[in-house]
Amino acid sequence: MFFQPGTDRAQRDPRRSPLKSDELYAVRRAAQAVARAAKAGDADSRTTRFAELQTVLDEVRQRRGDHPVLWELEADFTSDPAVAADLYRRAEQAASEAGLPTLSIRLSLARLLLKELGRPGEARAALTACAEELPEATDKQSALWGELLAACEQGMDTPTL
């Protein structure tokens, strides 16, 4: 999703990121550093590496604009669920405004809303909003969509006291 050879990548296929190969390398390297620190269970290193990732993403945004994949990636690595939800919504808005697919963004948002924030109604709304994209989805994405929707409906049926 990040890279398509050529100089005017974003003009040929707006779903592709406008990142140049050196920017792509910097983003991947920073994201991998966050993942390694998290896997090692080193909270201090993860915090430092995440700040570095945010810096790289901000620099790319300044040069290339507000591409939704940059917001989605930041949300993917954000440890605070409420902040991550806001970032996914920002990615969703940027994608919608640009006429880009929102399926992966909305699936991630729905999973977060349902499983980490306990908001099945909002999660269901995110899923419903991307239902028209399901014909283009992978089998894995379609299965996840169905599983999340079923969990949302089950969670919404649970009475609250």
The confidence score (pLDDT) of residue 101 equals 94
* Whole-prediction pTM: 0.84
Nearest Cα neighbor of 81 from 108, 48, 42 is 108
- pLDDT tens digit string along 43-79? 999 999 999 999 999 999 999 888 999 999 999 999 9
37 and 83 assigned to the same domain: yes
Q: Is residue 131 part of a domain?
A: yes
Domain span holding position 51: 20-102
Residues 6 or more apart from 157 whose CB is under 8 A from it?
Answer: none
One-letter amino acid at 130 equals C
Contact residues for 17 (Cβ-Cβ < 8 A; gap 6+) = 1, 2, 3, 9, 10, 24, 64, 67, 69, 70
Shared domain check, 123 and 96: no
Q: Is residue 91 part of a domain?
A: yes
Same domain? For 95 and 141 the reply is no
Residue 72 maps to a domain:
yes
58 in a structural domain: yes
Whether residue 66 is found in the same domain as residue 30: yes
User: Quick check: is 75 in a domain?
Assistant: yes
Q: What share of the chain is helix, strand, coil (3-state, %, to 5)?
A: 75, 0, 25
Residue 123 lies in a domain: yes
For the chain, the distance separating the N- and C-terminal CA atoms, rounded to the nearest angstrom, is 45
Q: Count of domains in the chain?
A: 2
